[in-house]
Amino acid sequence: MVDDFNREVLATEIDLGLPAARIIRVLERIIDQRGYPEKLRMDNNDPEFISKAIANWAEKHDIHLEFIQPGTPTQNAYVERFNRTYREEILNRYVFKTLNPVRQLTHDWIHPYHKERPHDSLGDMTPWEYSEKYRMSETLV
């Protein structure tokens, strides 16, 4: 899950399938740390995210579910870019026999992604630099 605001990876769940209950637990963990989002944007092709359970959960918490239109990946371009980078730098570089090495490599890769990788869409700042700049501007107001 990637934050719209600063392109920070909020969660990665690596498994062969992700039931709605697990997705909801991850969302609740993020909410405990960050508070409730106004909306969640998701791809119509992700069966994990289009379940009735997630729709009910979102409605209960007054979170708007926003689905990108089919065939328009530009509506979710930053997530598509993240997925491509992740595939190129982790998934396509190694042959994995189990999921644990994928989880460990992903965990180790996320911190430098947040701290060291600038993004064009963030004015060539890293996700953490962008967040810090925003926090500083909010403090000055």
> How distant, in Å, are the alpha carbons of 26, 36, 37, 118 from that of 32?
10, 8, 11, 27
**How far, in Å, CA of 125 to CA of 119, rounded?**
6
**How far, in Å, CA of 139 to CA of 141, rounded?**
6
Q: In CATH, what number does 20-140 get?
A: 3.30.420.10
Model pLDDT for residues 46-67, shown as the tens digit of each residue = 665 568 899 999 999 999 998 8
User: Given this model, what pLDDT does residue 69 score?
Assistant: 83
Going by pLDDT thresholds of 50, 70 and 90, the confidence category of residue 110 is very high
Whether the CB-CB separation of 58 and 64 falls below 8 Å is answered with yes
3-class secondary-structure state, position 5 = coil
pLDDT: which is higher, 76 or 35: 35
Model pLDDT for residues 77-93, shown as the tens digit of each residue = 888 899 999 999 999 99
**How far, in Å, CA of 53 to CA of 115, rounded?**
35
Judged against a pLDDT cut of 90, whether residue 45 lies above it is answered with no
pTM, 2 dp: 0.83
**How far, in Å, CA of 1 to CA of 37, rounded?**
13
Structure tokens at 88: 């190129």
